[in-house]
Structures are given as structure tokens and as C-alpha cells.
């Protein structure tokens, strides 16, 4: 797996001057990436001036170097290892994209076959994990189960916990990518009281996931080609997205030397929030709360009201200030999937399309460059496929595991890697003496 070229080794970098409040001027290197904005390397700032930078939410801060994914938010462009997401979604498949994200190049035929075979032969989970599941309440949210079970993998696979051993790192990576669909499907089966279905190694990654989720032992089940392809594409679209909240969480957790299973569990926890991966679930809830096209204006008035916390879920993105390219792909797939399933007029899709049309022409959204993101449509497809709403974010986590693992490996292999330790602007009380109980006001 591929590590970045450290900024420190780059020669002849231009500089930016900074004059601190005492009048002292220092030169800070300005570093070029391959494409995208340059960065000011502020690592020497504190030593030279005693100043920190302040950037809550990292709106202007690059936290690492990476060669994996590039987003141009103004153009609405997403590249995995340089390849546009639209081309990958059209011509590739999830296993090939996983290989690309992990190793940096598209695989040759024999490389792909070996990779698929290696992943496929890690799909079963330790049998004792089935016992572990039984400790959860039946109504537990699948993401709660995923956080717990994925974290617990570190208690089962002691032979792949040494992060300093490249072979163990690779085995842990393969195990995570292979077992996460099994765990997600088990979370679903447990919630509906059906028996766990063991993985089938004669099926493709997406097909096997559909099988483990929807098959039952008493009937034969053949996943449809259209649904398998649509799910595989959903996995490709969600595979990585550079330094988003969950990926940054994985990197930060991993920076302390924590094992990869624990780091991915941390990523799952971060993804769960409605501002991130939880948005696909929130979109469906929002659409059913709105209920009908007539109620859209009333809903949008609430969204625009500063005193109301309601947001148009599935709209807006920290980086994309244009149409999310993933949303464009998934929007087309929506029609194909609903067609395959014989759903002619889906009220939720109709409502979503109307909402999209109105929002894209509304000054509030236009001025703030708020466009539909991937989550606006993914929930509609997943619901049509038969996944319960509570599984949507679990599916996102399944696909994103590839990106998390690749980003984690890149960090471990980066010679400049340090434990992540942000500083703060302290605004609390200055030092003061302890006040005995009887003297407290
Ligand atoms: N609905 C209404 N107003 C919005 C929305 C929205 N969905 N998103 C942003 N705004 C407004 C916001 O109120 C603010 O307006 P003003 O300047 O008047 O105060 C302005 O747009 C900028 O918003 P922000 O919160 O500073 O933007 P951010 O970059 O911090 O937030 C976001 C990005 C994704 C958290 C936000 O757009 C949001 O909450 N969207 C809805 C949740 C969602 O769909 N999330 C999925 C993201 S894509 C999948 C993934 O990668 O996880």
C-alpha cells in the first residue's frame, strides 16, 4: 500500500510571510499538491512565534498528505487514485475499486483474481462472534451493533494486531473488508429474529451481502443482476471521500498506535451522526415527515428559518459547492432499480424529485451553494431493495471500510506520522486557589 512523499523532502518551495503581534516576521513554506489548493506548512509556527493556528472544524486545515482521493468541490469532481468516480461507476466494480484504493493502481487480471480470492476467503467470522451478537437487545440499532462487534474483532484476531508488521497490517485489512458485510448482515438478521446466513464464496461481494441479508435457510435465493449491480455501485460511490469526519477519526485513533479493528470501530461511531453517514437515514425520515408535495413549502420555510434547527437532509456538503458527482450517478440508478422492482410511481422518489427541483431554484440554497449529496438518493434505492432504514448507515460503513483501511495504512506508512494532538484556544478560568466548601458563594 502506497505512502505519500513527505512535504519536508520537497525542494524550492515558495513561502508565505507572517508577521506576529510583536512585529516578528517569519517565512512559512507553501507546498503544492498534484492538483488542488496549495497549503501553508505551519509546523514551525509555534516554535518560532509561540502562536497556534485556530480552525475549528478544520475548514482551512489539511491534516495530512494523501495520495488516495481527490475532491474538487467547485467542479463537483471526485477521483479515486486519479480516476473519476463516474468512469469507475460505469466500468469497474467494488472489488477492483477496493484494490485501486488500497494499492494505488487498477489491478491486472491475475492481481484482481487473487485479491478477490483472498478477500473471499476471509468472509466468515469466528464462530464465537455469533454468541457475542446474542448479548445485544433485538431492537439495537445496527450501527450500535457494528461499533461493538467490529471493535471486538481485536479480541478474536490476535495474530493481526501488530501494526508494525506489514504482513499483519495486510491481514487485518483483508479481514475487515471481508468480514464487515458478514457482520452487517448478521446485525440485520439478529434484529429480525432470523438465523444468520453463512457467507457463500461462490458469490460476488455485493451478491453475497444480499444473500446473507435476504436469504433464509428454507428457500433458495438468487439476487437479481440489476440489484446486485446497483448495490455494488453504491459501494463504489461510498468507498472513500478523503479526510471526512469518520476517516479523520480513524486516522486520529490510529495515530496513537491503536489496532486497526479498534480504529475502524471509531470510524463507524463517527459515521453514525446525521451530519455524516447518518444522513441517508435522516433523508427518509424527513421525506416521510413531509408526507406530500403540498407540504414542501411549509417544510422549506422551517429549513430557512434561523430560529429553527431543521435542515434539508441530503443537501449541502463541506467540500462540494456544486452537484455531488456521487448523487448524479445514484440518481440515475434510482430509476433503474425502481424499474427492476416494478415500482412505477414511488411516492418517496416523486417527493424527493419535487423537493430537489424546488430547492435547486430557491435563492436560499442557490446562494449557499447547497446541492443534493449522495445521501439524498441512496436511501430511496436501499429502501426499494428492501433494506430497513436503520441499515442504511451500516451499508455506508461497509463500503467506507475500504477507504478507512487505506487511509489508516497510508498514515502508518507515512514517515512523518505523529500522534494526532491538536492544541486549543483556552478561554476558561486562569489559575486560581482551591475554595473550601464553607467559603463557596
Ligand atoms: N439545509 C439548510 N441549510 C443548510 C444546509 C442544509 N442541509 N446545509 C448547510 N446549510 C446552510 C447553513 O445554515 C449555513 O447558512 P448561513 O450561512 O446562513 O448560516 C450555510 O448553509 C453553511 O452551512 P454550514 O453548516 O456552515 O456548512 P458545513 O460545511 O459546516 O456543513 C453539512 C456541511 C454536510 C454538515 C451540512 O450541509 C448539513 O448539515 N447537511 C445536511 C446533512 C447531510 O446531508 N449530510 C451528508 C453529507 S454527504 C455524506 C457524507 O459525506 O457524510
The response to whether residue 275 sits with its C-beta less than 6 Å from ligand 1 reads yes
The response to whether residue 112 sits with its C-beta less than 6 Å from ligand 1 reads no
Q: Is the pLDDT score of 354 beyond 80?
A: yes
What pLDDT score was predicted for residue 229?
Answer: 94
Q: Is the pLDDT score of 12 beyond 70?
A: no
Q: Is the pLDDT score of 342 beyond 90?
A: no
For range 68-84, the mean pLDDT:
96
- Residue 308: pLDDT band with limits 50, 70, 90: very high
The response to whether residue 283 sits with its C-beta less than 6 Å from ligand 1 reads no
Each residue's pLDDT tens digit, 13-39:
799 999 999 999 999 999 999 999 999
Each residue's pLDDT tens digit, 168-185:
999 999 999 999 999 999
For range 337-343, the mean pLDDT:
84
What pLDDT score was predicted for residue 348?
Answer: 83
For range 265-293, the mean pLDDT:
92
Question: Rounded to an integer, what distance in angstroms lies between the CA atom of residue 120 and that of residue 265?
Answer: 21
For range 374-383, the mean pLDDT:
88
**How many whole angstroms from 399 Cα to the centroid of ligand 1?**
23
Q: Which three cell numbers stand for residue 245?
A: 469526519
333 is catalytic: no
Q: Is the pLDDT score of 40 beyond 50?
A: yes
Each residue's pLDDT tens digit, 391-418:
999 999 999 999 999 999 999 999 999 9
The response to whether residue 314 sits with its C-beta less than 6 Å from ligand 1 reads yes
Nearest to 122 by CA among 85, 76, 162, 170: 170
What pLDDT score was predicted for residue 281?
Answer: 86
pLDDT: which is higher, 280 or 90: 90
What pLDDT score was predicted for residue 8?
Answer: 47
Residue nearest to atom 4 of ligand 1 (CA): 311
The response to whether residue 286 sits with its C-beta less than 6 Å from ligand 1 reads no
Question: Rounded to an integer, what distance in angstroms lies between the CA atom of residue 92 and that of residue 267?
Answer: 26
Q: Is the pLDDT score of 2 beyond 60?
A: no
What pLDDT score was predicted for residue 5?
Answer: 53
Each residue's pLDDT tens digit, 93-132:
999 999 999 999 999 999 999 999 999 999 999 999 999 9
pLDDT: which is higher, 10 or 54: 54
Point out the ligand 1 atom lying closest to the alpha carbon of residue 311. 1
Each residue's pLDDT tens digit, 426-441:
999 999 999 999 999 8
From residue 144, give the alpha-carbon distance in Å to each of 238, 268, 279, 440. 20, 9, 16, 42
Nearest to 324 by CA among 36, 97, 35, 77: 77
Question: Rounded to an integer, what distance in angstroms lies between the CA atom of residue 72 and that of residue 33?
Answer: 13
Residue nearest to atom 10 of ligand 1 (CA): 316
Q: Is the pLDDT score of 277 beyond 90?
A: no
| Catalytic residue, candidates 238, 317, 324, 346 | 317
What pLDDT score was predicted for residue 6?
Answer: 55
**Number of neighbours of residue 254 by Cβ within 10 angstroms:** 26
What integer best gives the mean pLDDT of the chain? 93
Percent of the chain with pLDDT over 70: 97
CA atoms within 13 A on the CB side of 324: 22
Backbone angles phi, psi at 70, to 5 degrees: -125, 135
Residue nearest to atom 24 of ligand 1 (CA): 318
Q: Is the pLDDT score of 10 beyond 70?
A: no
238 is catalytic: no
Pairing of strands 39-40, 69-72: unpaired
For range 358-364, the mean pLDDT:
92
DSSP characters over 89-147: HHH--HHHHHHHHHHSSPPPHHHHHHHHHHHHTT-SPPTHHHHHHTTS-TT--HHHHHH
- Contact yes or no for 63/243 (Cβ under 8 A): yes
**How many whole angstroms from 275 Cα to the centroid of ligand 1?**
8
Question: Rounded to an integer, what distance in angstroms lies between the CA atom of residue 167 and that of residue 309?
Answer: 48
Amino acid at each position: 500500500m502506497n505512502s505519500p512523499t513527505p512535504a519536508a523532502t520537497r525542494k524550492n518551495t515558495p513561502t508565505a510571510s507572517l508577521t506576529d503581534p510583536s512585529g516578528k516576521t517569519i517565512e512559512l513554506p507553501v507546498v503544492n499538491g498534484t492538483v488542488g489548493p496549495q497549503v501553508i506548512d505551519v509546523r514551525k509556527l509555534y516554535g518560532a512565534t509561540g502562536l497556534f493556528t485556530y480552525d475549528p472544524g478544520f475548514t482551512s486545515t489539511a491534516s495530512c498528505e494523501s495520495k488516495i482521493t481527490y475532491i474538487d468541490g467547485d467542479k463537483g469532481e471526485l477521483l479515486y487514485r486519479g480516476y473519476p468516480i463516474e468512469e469507475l461507476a460505469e466500468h469497474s466494480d467494488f472489488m477492483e475499486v477496493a484494490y485501486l484504493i488500497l494499492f494505488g493502481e487498477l489491478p491486472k487480471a491475475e492481481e484482481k483474481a487473487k485479491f478477490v480470492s483472498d478477500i473471499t476467503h476471509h468472509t466468515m467470522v469466528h464462530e464465537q462472534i455469533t454468541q457475542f451478537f446474542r448479548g445485544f437487545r433485538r431492537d439495537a440499532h445496527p450501527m450500535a451493533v457494528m461499533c461493538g462487534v467490529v471493535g471486538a474483532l481485536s479480541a478474536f484476531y490476535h495474530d493481526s494486531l501488530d501494526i508494525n508488521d506489514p504482513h499483519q497490517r495486510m491481514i487485518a485489512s483483508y479481514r475487515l473488508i471481508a468480514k464487515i458485510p458478514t457482520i452487517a448482515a448478521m446485525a440485520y438478521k439478529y434484529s429480525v429474529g432470523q438465523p444468520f446466513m453463512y457467507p457463500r464464496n461462490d458469490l460476488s461481494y455485493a451478491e453475497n451481502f444480499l444473500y446473507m441479508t435476504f436469504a433464509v435457510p428454507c428457500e433458495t435465493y438468487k439476487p437479481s443482476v440489476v440489484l446486485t449491480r446497483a448495490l455494488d455501485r453504491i459501494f463504489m460511490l461510498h468507498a472513500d471521500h478523503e479526510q471526512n469526519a469518520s476517516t479523520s477519526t480513524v486516522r486520529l485513533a490510529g495515530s496513537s498506535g491503536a489496532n486497526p479493528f479498534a480504529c475502524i470501530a471509531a470510524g463507524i461511531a463517527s459515521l453514525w451522526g446525521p451530519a455524516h453517514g447518518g444522513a441517508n437515514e435522516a433523508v427518509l425520515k424527513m421525506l416521510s415527515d413531509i408526507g406530500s408535495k403540498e407540504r414542501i413549502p411549509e417544510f422549506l420555510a422551517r429549513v430557512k428559518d434561523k430560529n429553527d434547527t431543521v435542515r434539508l437532509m441530503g443537501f449541502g456538503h463541506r467540500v462540494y459547492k456544486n452537484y455531488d458527482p456521487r448523487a448524479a450517478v445514484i440518481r440515475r440508478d434510482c430509476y433503474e432499480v425502481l424499474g427492476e422492482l416494478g415500482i412505477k410511481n414511488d411516492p418517496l422518489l416523486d417527493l424527493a424529485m419535487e423537493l430537489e427541483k424546488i430547492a435547486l431554484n430557491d435563492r436560499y440554497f442557490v446562494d449557499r451553494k447547497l446541492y443534493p449529496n449522495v445521501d439524498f438518493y441512496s436511501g430511496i434505492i436501499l429502501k426499494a431493495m428492501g433494506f430497513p432504514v436503520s441499515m442504511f448507515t451500516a451499508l455506508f460503513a461497509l463500503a467506507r471500510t475500504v477507504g478507512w483501511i487505506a487511509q489508516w495504512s497510508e498514515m502508518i506508512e507515512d514517515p512523518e506520522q505523529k500522534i494526532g494532538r491538536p492544541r486549543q484556544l483556552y478561554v476558561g478560568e486562569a489559575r486560581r486557589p482551591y475554595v473550601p466548601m464553607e467559603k463557596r458563594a
